[in-house]
Structure 1
Amino acid sequence: MGHFSLGQAGCVIEGFAVAFFGIASLCTVAVISVERFVVVCYPMGSVLFQTRHAVAGVVLSWVWSFIWNTPPLFGWGSYELEGIRTSCAPNWNGRDGGNMSYIILYFLLCFALPFSIIMLSYTRLLWTLHQVNLSVLGRQSRVSKLQVSAGGSTQRVQMQVARMVVVMVLSFLVTWLPYASMALAVILVPSLYIDPVIATIPVFLAKSSTVYNPIIYIFMNRQASTICQHCKL
């Protein structure tokens, strides 16, 4: 058609929807990382994750996304066409002070913060399982066959968690890091030119996370259950 068929109003609605659902998904991944950190590192702690905690985490993700995606609707930042101009997103190219301040805060609070939570949670989770493994191996000198088996079981659990963490973190980075990096580069280097076709690739990667994130987390759910049961034992 040679132009965006939904018009300016449609662009704003579509840009808000994509950003709102995308950031809510990203924040949900961060909440899941905290839940797994608590369950694995403090399996017998005073706080046990229940349905109300899961609901609170989901609500927090959606409210956080709503708070930081509504300002462009009221003049702080804006939604504009991006890439090959077939979809809309927060205006990464705007050079006025209000738009740049919004985009910088948006980057820090809607990407850098969830990413930091994910990395810290999974790093601590791996470290805790590593310490458990060392503790079991340290007892194997006085050992029965049962203790040797427990040591092998701990090592297998640690490897399962390591694979789970690698898949989750890599999927997060592959989907979101190119998009966030491109947006930040455009903000920090105003003279930077990125070909529209190339700029569309990170956009598609970010949007694709809503497709395979559920597959990854459902597939990993069985491993997570096994890990939690093992830690409680």
Structure 2
Amino acid sequence: MIPKIASGISGLDELTGGLPDNTMTLVYGPPKTGKSIFCYQFLRQSVAEDDLCMYLMTDYNLSQLEAQMMAFDWFIAEYIAKKKLYVIDTASGSVGATQKEMKNMMISFPQNPTDIVSKVIQELQSIYQEAQRFRSVLDSSTTLFAFNSPILMIRVLKSYTMRIKMAGGTGVITYTEGAAEPQIETMLKATVDNIIHLDGEEMTIEAMAGLKHTDVGYQITDAGIAVG
């Protein structure tokens, strides 16, 4: 039996048993198909289970993440106050915003992958001292591809994935379909363990250990993504 963890996605966990533990999942598709909402639900499950979560955000800052989750009646203020959430915020860095960094709240820059990796390593060292298992989110790799050489970003994402898994993490990476050349997308898929495609109506599990290629309908509701 492959150990699984709950994704927090209604219907998906019933279908797959959850996401395989200590693996990386790519969630990709066109814009506005629910990729970030998938991440919010994955984080919400982390809150429910009192897991630590490392969240690398490129398109929104922490207060925006809180607001976007509150729209679904998901509240993370207490979770943040308990220092369970480890943030690397490149959205603020991209517009020159600064704030006092703490061990679980760091600013980086989308055009500086070396600094991003350095911050990931620092946060993983802190996480590893506290927990043997945790969750990670990178939303979205698309922004990092836009600011950097795609080949360089593939190397960075391979390193990121390896480090998350070595530290005991189970992660999600999002990507907007068509943002990079097809061969880069193929290489991106090769860096992860599981692949889920969202098109706005259908969720396709293209790759997942112990599971056949699966298509299932989904909707985005007031309660988030609902599968089936």
| Pair in the same fold by TM > 0.5 | no
Tell me the TM-score normalized by structure 2.
0.22
Larger RCO (CA under 8 A, 6+ residues apart): 2
Where is the strand percentage greater, Structure 1 or Structure 2?
2
Q: Which has the larger radius of gyration?
A: 1
Tell me the TM-score normalized by structure 1.
0.22
